[in-house]
Amino acid sequence: MNDIKEKKTLVILAAGIGARYGGGIKQLEPVGPTDELIIDYSVHDAIAAGFNKVVFIIRHDIESDFRERIGDRIERVCEPLGVEIRYAFQEKDMMVDHVPDGRIKPWGTGHAVLCAADMIDSGFAVINSDDYYGREAFRKAADLLALDRCGLIGYVLKNTLSDNGGVTRGICSLDGEKLTGIKETRNIRKAGPGAEADGVRLDEESFVSMNFWCFPLSFLEVLKDGFPKFRDGMTDPLTEEYLLPGIADGMIKDGVPFTLMPTDDQWFGVTYKEDRQSVVDSFRKLYADGVYRDDLYSDLS
């Protein structure tokens, strides 16, 4: 376990404000049969796939609720399993000399990972806290980390859409398994049997990013070098963000190889409040199909 190549860290982005969700803390919404959160399933599936460290990135103002609703419970589950739990905090005044008046959000997902850099000591995967990714996805992420290379878990677009509004997805360009580009596309909606964004039809079988990234430890240096350049080059300091998809796309254009690991897993999440019931129903089906036990963590050892 002391060998850095044997360590696998899961970084969970849980500092989002969740504006489209109506201002609530969507990461803390119960969705399982005994009030499990989506994060529970991500942690469970990651441990089952061989991850042995989890870093939660949260905000100070939700720390108490987060620990009470999930953090303390997960620590009790993980301690006998030898899985380390750590907390990092992302705030908009971190790693900047001045926060512009009117800036509401922190500086994006790349900035979030930088806020956790001191706690990451191995290859790591990054996920959103409010997305269900599926068990296969974590197994494939573990395989990618074992190769010590940059990569992305790719989802089929049609498996990632909401019934309740538009979503933003990074549409992937591929050369075989090699990722050649990511185009951030907003307002993607279901349209009959397919999908569209602002009236433009999209290939529903194309692969998209759901922000499930895999990076070697050396990626932290890329983030550290790039963030000052981002700050100096901003044209709109009130809204611009240092985002992992854009950082990855820039690396790809510079010739850094990225592997896309495809999964047929069905994504679901609570982008909108109206999504919650469909997520609850989806978990009920997973239990009925035997994917999870009634005592969620009881199959881990």
pLDDT in tens, 261-294: 999 898 988 777 788 899 999 999 999 999 999 9
Q: Which tokens belong to 89? A: 């905090």
Higher-pLDDT residue of 202 and 177 is 202
Note whether residue 88 is domain-resident. Answer: yes
pLDDT of 23 over the 60 cut: no
Render 54-122 in DSSP notation, one character per residue. Answer: EEEEE-GGGHHHHIIIIIHHHHHHHGGGT-EEEEEE--TTTT-S-PPTT--S-S-HHHHHHHTGGG--S
Structure confidence at residue 296 as a pLDDT band (50, 70, 90): very high
Stretch 34-51: mean pLDDT: 96
Asked if pLDDT for residue 4 goes beyond 70, the answer is: no
Looking at residue 192, its pLDDT comes to 83
- Give domain status of residue 288, yes or no: yes
Instruction: Report if residue 135 sits inside a domain.
Output: yes
Grade residue 176 by pLDDT with cuts at 50, 70 and 90: confident
Task: Please say if the pLDDT value at position 62 is more than 80.
Answer: yes
Is residue 177 one of the residues assigned to a domain?
no
- With respect to residue 78, please indicate whether it lies within any of the assigned structural domains: yes
pLDDT band at 3 (very low <50, low <70, confident <90, very high): very low
* Mean pLDDT for the stretch of residues 167-171: 91
Residue 22 domain flag: yes
- The per-residue pLDDT for 164 is 84
Q: What is the pLDDT of residue 25?
A: 62
Number of domains forming the structure of the chain: 1
CATH assignment at residue 135: 3.90.550.10
Residue 74 included in any domain: yes
What was the pLDDT predicted at 24?
Answer: 54
DSSP state of 149: -
Q: State the residue range of the domain holding 145.
A: 9-152+209-239+266-294
**pLDDT band at residue 119 using 50, 70 and 90 as cut-offs:** very high
Angle at 228 between CA 226 and CA 234, to 5 degrees: 100
pLDDT, averaged across the chain: 91
Question: What's the pLDDT at 271?
Answer: 74
Kindly report the pTM of this predicted structure.
0.92
- Is 169 part of any domain? no
Greatest mean pLDDT among 21-30, 57-66, 133-142 lies in 133-142
